[in-house]
Amino acid sequence: MSDQNKKALCCVCGTMRTCRRPRNHRAENYWLSGPIDRDWWRETGDLKCAECARVTTHAIIHPEKDTFRDHAEMMQRVATGNSHGHFNAAQLGEVAQKYRQGMPRNPYLNHFWYKSDAQEAWDAGKDTVIGLCGEPMKLTRDPSGPSASKKRSDDDDSRQIKPMTVRDQEYEDSDTGMWWREGDCVDCLRVWHLELLRQRRELLGTKMTEFLAVLLADKSGFPKKLDLHTVEYLIEALDSVRPSTTVSSEGMSR
């Protein structure tokens, strides 16, 4: 940690102050390379809070351009299903395992997984399948049979998933003594929609490339393949999704 002034947020009252180096500074566990603890007090330290009138734990806020400003959040996403160029497959598995060592898991979450992964595991004699978020899930039946589970069909690649309504009722987990609400796993939902976005972007790129080829070939000759109504509609559609960089047809002179 450098000695440059940094912002620090009081973990008791939320008051912001500046500091150089707090007492008892607990550094970030970069790349989860160090021992895992379950309190997750990282990038924190002890400072005098003017509002609390005593020394309290403060969270260190790194500058916006700091390379590791959002490192902890990034590692959480990596541990719950996101890919990252810094890690190979084995390292991603290690990160996920370490993350789960230090974080209690909600046993009442509904997870999602690919049906083909579950079938492959079942055929290999395994009783678990890895969910989209990286959570190992117990298999209790042949995935090829009828099931109400949250499995994802490999060819079902064009549908967004609406999360289930979360009820206020909580359930106790006898293993940890903690109380949890039932709901869909937000990490599984995030991973699926990122994959869906990737697939749809590829499809959009293909369609736009094909359309651009038609547009460029339609410069001369009659009748036009793309009429005025179609062109105006497409310009309006592009204007609506790119308001800050659009070149509008309005106000253009001949």
- Express each pLDDT in 190-245 by its tens digit: 999 998 999 999 999 999 999 999 888 887 777 778 888 988 999 999 888 876 55
**What is d(CA 108, CA 84) in angstroms, rounded to the nearest whole number?**
28
Q: Is the dihedral of CA 205, 206, 210, 211 positive or negative?
A: negative
Q: What is the pLDDT of residue 48?
A: 96
**What is d(CA 97, CA 91) in angstroms, rounded to the nearest whole number?**
10
**What is d(CA 24, CA 166) in angstroms, rounded to the nearest whole number?**
40
Q: Calculate mean pLDDT across residues 54-60.
A: 96
**What is d(CA 18, CA 48) in angstroms, rounded to the nearest whole number?**
11
Between 29-38, 65-74, 135-144, the lowest mean confidence (pLDDT) is in: 29-38
Burial class of residue 82, CB neighbours in 10 A (0-12, 13-18, 19+): middle
Q: What is the pLDDT of residue 148?
A: 46
**What is d(CA 47, CA 6) in angstroms, rounded to the nearest whole number?**
12
- Given a contact cutoff of 8 angstroms between Cβ atoms, the answer to whether 58 and 9 are in contact is yes
- Which range, 53-57, 67-71, 159-163, 171-175, has the best average confidence (pLDDT)? 53-57
When comparing pLDDT for 87 and 219, which is higher? 87
**What is d(CA 15, CA 9) in angstroms, rounded to the nearest whole number?**
6
Residues linked to residue 110 through DSSP beta bridges, in sequence order = 184
Q: What is the pLDDT of residue 153?
A: 52
Strand pairing class (113-114; 151-152): parallel
Q: Calculate mean pLDDT across residues 143-170.
A: 67
Residue 57's H or E segment, with its range, is: strand 54-61
Q: Calculate mean pLDDT across residues 147-157.
A: 52
First-to-last alpha carbon distance for the chain, in angstroms, is: 60
87 pLDDT band, cuts 50/70/90, is confident
Which residue blocks in the chain are alpha helix, DSSP H? 71-79, 89-101, 115-123, 186-217, 228-241
Q: What is the pLDDT of residue 251?
A: 39
Q: What's the pLDDT tens digit per position in 181-191?
A: 888 999 999 99
Strand pairing class (109-110; 183-184): parallel
Q: Calculate mean pLDDT across residues 56-83.
A: 89
**What is d(CA 24, CA 32) in angstroms, rounded to the nearest whole number?**
20
Residue 129 confidence (pLDDT) above 60: yes
Residues linked to residue 180 through DSSP beta bridges, in sequence order = 171
**What is d(CA 134, CA 75) in angstroms, rounded to the nearest whole number?**
13
Q: Calculate mean pLDDT across residues 245-254.
A: 40
Q: What's the pLDDT tens digit per position in 130-149?
A: 999 999 999 988 988 765 44
Main-chain dihedrals φ then ψ at residue 58, nearest 5 degrees: -120, 145
- Given a contact cutoff of 8 angstroms between Cβ atoms, the answer to whether 180 and 107 are in contact is yes
